Every structure is written in structure tokens, then in C-alpha cells.
Amino acid sequence: MQKGSIRVQTENIFPIIKKFLYSEHDIFIRELVSNAVDANQKLKTLSSIGEAKGELGDLRIDIKIDKEKKSLTISDTGLGMTDEEVDKYLNQVAFSGAEEFLEKYKGQNEANIIGHFGLGFYSSFMVSERVEVFSKSFKEGSKAVRWECDGSPEFTLEEIEKESRGTDIVLHLNAESEEFLEPSRISTVLEKFCRFLPIPIFFEDKQINNPAPAWTKKPSELTDEDYQNFYKELYPFGEAPLFWIHLNVDYPFNLTGILYFPKIKQSYEIQKDKIQLYCNQVFVTDEVKDIVPEFLMLMHGVIDSPDIPLNVSRSYLQGDPNVRKINSHITKKVADKLEEIFKNDRKQFEEKWESLGLFVKYGMMTDDKFLEKANKFHILQDCKDEKFYTLEEYRLATETLQKNKDGKLVILYTTNPVQQDAYIQQAAAKGYMVVKLETIIDNGFLNQMEMKWENVQFVRVDSDIVDNLIDKQEGGDSVLSKEDETKLKDLFAVKNPEINVSVEVKGLSADAPPVVATRPEFMRRMKDMAAMQGGMGAFYANMPDEVTLTVNGNHAIYKTVLAETEKEKQEKLVHNLADLALLSQGLLKGNSLTSFINRSVELMG
């Protein structure tokens, strides 16, 4: 039996590095700048424990373009390398200097060291035909060295003269990568990946980063203005946020960040992927769906954690218990913050409900732990007096009138207070309370809550005649004879290709409308949900609407209608009454609407 070590052949690995190390080639700038940050941070650490003599001087990173030489240079004033270190770190693929440093100086501010994989430097060969490294170590008596490699297994290493401590990496760009000789291209990449790195970075003689962003400070050090200004820094064209949550955890995992509740005026303004993930202030990604709960993807801001496992390109999350713990922690922090605001300043909470409601409802639908907490601060708005009620407050205010024979609380709601005004007024006349549920997610929300809330049923205010909204009632006696009722039913049986109409005659109150059009709650919900789903759902969404026309046999107008001797005019009068009812449901469209207008003008004449 033979045992041994697997040997990596550089002849094979360099083509792989050049083509496939990172999915986006511009990431080489992030990797090289991150290495430069590490070099400065390591020097700080060594200085703090007395292992680096003398003054640290100006710790910084400079990026320069030379269009004539077709080169890009990244320089740092960090700890530099000796010839042995260059041989150790640059000539051994995937030997991470940061990993070794962390192990040796464990506990000495190691969170500030970014690199972990040892491949970042080699990203330079994705864009370069040749790479030079000039380095001088901070160690006393060290000689400066120059290393050069053209992406083959061959390299040169020699002593040189270099006055200042630190490392210069010179990339001689290949023909396919000359875009990186354009200042605007470099600025874009630096803005994306390096804007919050902890060491000052200079490009074209201007500092391009904020080394101490708000999330790296303690909440006690920040004012409301600081939080607002940081939001403007992240989103220069965004409206001021509603409020924010500062994350600051060091056990059982490390997590910092600031999450903002954005102002959302309309449901269609919802934007996801606005939260940025950082690792020790290095931008990683804005796709954080595994870390941040789905419903909080609507939030904006930054989270930073060295404990989130990443692959070699630092671009994708891997399954890990820490990710689940962080996800749960963020959910809890958001729920606690919302509850705190609701308790301490309910007026402010209610004023911002239009935007907050989307977060809260989405969370209640998708996260049962959040639902448990949110039941205390989820609110319903009465469309009549605009007052807000929690579920328990609504129950107390309405259960004497709005509890059905099955013992369920019936929550009456409107999806369009203007269009459904006539129905709302009829419900209010009965003493019922109608709340607004008019956002894009409310249809799904009420379906979910009927399953999750005990003994609660939602009924849209226009889903039936007012007498049937709480409990189904037998029709009251009308003043009409059975013969007249039958005649009216026949007259109202209008044909409409877009809707299936059924007609009933009931004795409603004399001041109720002459005809009430209603759409069964279940069928209407199914159509609404199908319309949002697309695909096969669109098939159901395009099916004709089911509509019931309830003719009020006690309305005085039918004396006139039934007394009309001219049959054609009688039919037109009835048709108009039916169309008025359909119009109240928004179901009169196209040719049917045009016919109604023309018929109305004719009858007036």
C-alpha cells in the first residue's frame, strides 16, 4: 500500500485561475485592495503589541493608472514582505498569509484581517499578462525585493532598492482588460467593493472611501442625524427612512449593521436586494436572501459579519448554522423594535403604517415566530373614522354585532373605499366597522390569517347584501306579489358575455338601493389570487365573474317600472338599474359601458 501527498501542478492551475477563479473579473480589484488593507491592519496589530518598532506613519492605499505603460498599480504602506515571505506567500498557490497570521496572533484584533483563502492575489492574472510585486518589510535591516511572473510556473525574485515600507503590485494588463485603464471603470469598481474599507484609499489624488461607516460605531456614539446621513450615503436619491435598527452582536456570532425601514408610498414601489452584505467592511453581495428573512428583504441597509461562511470568491453563501442563527436574530430584533415603537409612540407608528404594514403583513404570512410578536402591533384601520385597532381592540369593539352564529369574529373590509363607498355606507348604517385592506399583499394576507388567527373570518363589504354579511339571512318579505317578483327576475336576467349573472328578489329596507350587485367572497378571492399568479392562474383570472343581482322588492321605483306599459322602455329601465349595480362593482366595461351611456341619454330624452 502506498501513501503520499497530492501535488498541484501549476501548469494546470494557472489557466483555471485565469479563467474561472471569479465569476466577474473586476473582483481582482477588491481582492488586491483587501490584501493591501490586511497589510496595514497586520502592521497596526503588531505595533499594538510591541512587535513593530518605530512610527506607523501614514497608513494608506494608493491606486494609479499608467495608460502609456498599460499598467495598474496598487500600493500600500503596510508591513511589506521579506524575500522569504514573498517566496512563501506568492510562490505557493492557496497558502493564505491572513490565515497564518490569525493563528499566530489569535485574540489580537484578528477580526480586522480580511483574507482567508490565499487565492486573492492570483486574481491579478485574470487581467494581466505580467505581474510585478515590489515589497519592503517593516522588519529592521530588511532588503526590498522584486517578484515577477507572467502567469506561467516561472518567476523571478531579486533584491532591489526601495525607500518606503510596504508593497506595490503592478499589473501589466492584457489586451482584453484594457478597460481597466479607464478611471471611470476603476471608480465604479472601487465604489462598489471598497467604499467602506477601514484604511484610507486614494485614487486620482482623492480619497474614495469612508473608513469608519456608521455601522462600525456604537449606537451610543451616533445621533439621529448620523443615521440619516449614512442612509443618504448608501442611497443618495432615496427618501428619508422611517426609522432604523442598529445590529451589534458579538456572541454567539459576530454581527453588526444598520437596517432601515424605507418609506413605501405604493405597493408597486417595493424593491428587494437593497441590503448589502459586508465581511469586515469588504462588500460581498447584495443578495442576502439566506441571511435576512424573506419578508425583511424589503428593508434597506448594511449587515457585516465575519462569521458568515463564503466560498473562495466571497460571493455566495454556504449552508451553515450561523446563517440560521443570524436570520432568527434579525427577525427578533426587528419585531422588538416595532413593538417598542408601537408601545412608546403609537401615533408615530400609525402615521407610518402605510409603509410599515407591508413589512408586518409579509412577516406574519411567512414567519410564525414573527407572527406571534406582530399580533401585538399589527393594526387595522377603520375606513370611516380612520382610527386604528389591533385585532383584540377590533374584537372588543365589534363582537356584539360582528360575531356570526359559528362564533367567529367577522372582519368586514374594503379593497377600494371610493369604489365600494355605497356598500360601506350600508354596513355603517347597521353599526358595522369596515377596515381597509387595499395593498397588493392583502388578499394573500387575509387568506393566511384566517388559518392562523383563531375564530376569525374576513368578508369583503361588497360580497353580499348587508343583511348577509355576518350571517346568511332568509330574504325579507317584499311588497311585491309573487307574479311581480317573477316578472322582475325575468327582466333583470340580462345577458353579458363577461359575467355570469344570477338574480334574486328580496325585501330589503326601503332606503336600500333598488339593485345590489355582489360577488361571492370565495370566488372573487380565487380570481384575485389567480390574476396575481400568472401562468395557469391567468386562465382562471380571465373566466367570467360570478355576480348576484339582488333586487330590492321594497324599493318604490318598481311601482314605476312595473306600471310601464311600453315593453321596450320597461326593459331599458331595468337594464339601466342592473348596469348601475354592475358599475358599482367596477364590472361595466367596454361595449357594455358604452351601451349604458347611450341608453341613459335616450331615456333622459
Cis peptide before 293 (omega within 30 of 0): no
Is the domain of 279 the same as that of 184?
Answer: no
Which carries the bigger pLDDT value, residue 535 or residue 441?
Answer: 441
Radius of gyration of the chain, Cα coordinates, nearest whole angstrom? 35
Is the domain of 512 the same as that of 582?
Answer: yes
Is the domain of 151 the same as that of 223?
Answer: no
pLDDT at residue number 289: 77
Lowest mean pLDDT across 251-255, 295-299, 424-428, 497-501: 497-501
Residue 424 has pLDDT above 50, yes or no: yes
489 is a domain residue: yes
**Which amino acid belongs to residue 387?**
K
279 is a domain residue: yes
> Residue 92: which residues within 8 A CB-CB, separation 6 or more?
none
pLDDT at residue number 116: 39
Q: Tell me: the pLDDT tens digits for 119-143?
A: 678 888 889 999 999 999 999 889 9
Task: Please count the structural domains in the chain.
Answer: 4
Residue % of the chain over a pLDDT of 70: 85
Q: Tell me: the pLDDT tens digits for 153-194?
A: 788 999 999 999 999 999 999 999 999 999 999 999 999 889
313 is a domain residue: yes
Is the domain of 405 the same as that of 502?
Answer: no
Residue 578 has pLDDT above 60, yes or no: yes
pLDDT at residue number 119: 63
Question: In whole angstroms, what separates CA 211 from the centre of its chain?
Answer: 27
pLDDT at residue number 238: 84
Confidence of residue 284 (pLDDT cuts 50, 70, 90): confident
Q: Tell me: the pLDDT tens digits for 581-590?
A: 888 888 888 8
Is the domain of 262 the same as that of 152?
Answer: no
Q: Among all chains, which residue has been given the C-alpha cell 501548469?
A: 11
Tell me the three cell numbers of residue 157: 525574485
Is the domain of 180 the same as that of 31?
Answer: yes
pLDDT at residue number 166: 95
Lowest mean pLDDT across 150-159, 214-223, 339-348, 358-367: 150-159
pLDDT at residue number 587: 82
Q: What is the 3-state secondary structure (H, E, C) of 394-407?
A: HHHHHHHHHECCCC
358 is a domain residue: no
CA pair distance 53, 165, nearest whole angstrom:
12
Tell me the three cell numbers of residue 261: 425601514
Asked if 525 and 450 count as a contact pair (C-beta separation under 8 A), the reply is no
Residue 522 has pLDDT above 90, yes or no: no
User: In this structure, what CATH number is given to the domain that contains residue 273?
Assistant: 3.30.230.80
Is the domain of 196 the same as that of 317?
Answer: no
Residue 16 has pLDDT above 70, yes or no: no
CA pair distance 550, 514, nearest whole angstrom:
8
pLDDT at residue number 309: 62
Residue 113 has pLDDT above 50, yes or no: no
CA pair distance 262, 270, nearest whole angstrom:
9
CA pair distance 34, 282, nearest whole angstrom:
7
Q: Please tell me whether residue 205 adopts helix, strand or coil conformation.
A: coil
Average pLDDT over residues 103-112: 52
Q: Tell me: the pLDDT tens digits for 56-92?
A: 889 999 999 999 999 999 999 999 999 988 888 887 6
pLDDT at residue number 118: 47
- Out of 47-51, 122-126, 408-412, 507-511, the most confident range is 408-412
Residue 527 has pLDDT above 70, yes or no: yes
pLDDT at residue number 25: 77
Is the domain of 124 the same as that of 51?
Answer: yes
Write the DSSP string, 103-119: HHTTTSSGGG----SS-
Confidence of residue 381 (pLDDT cuts 50, 70, 90): very high
CA pair distance 20, 411, nearest whole angstrom:
57
User: In this structure, what CATH number is given to the domain that contains residue 597?
Assistant: 1.20.120.790
pLDDT at residue number 17: 58
pLDDT at residue number 52: 83
Is the domain of 490 the same as that of 387?
Answer: no
pLDDT at residue number 7: 45
Structural domain containing residue 402:
379-468
The pTM is what? 0.76
Average pLDDT over residues 321-334: 85
> Residue 199: which residues within 8 A CB-CB, separation 6 or more?
36, 37, 40, 41, 59, 60, 61, 76, 211
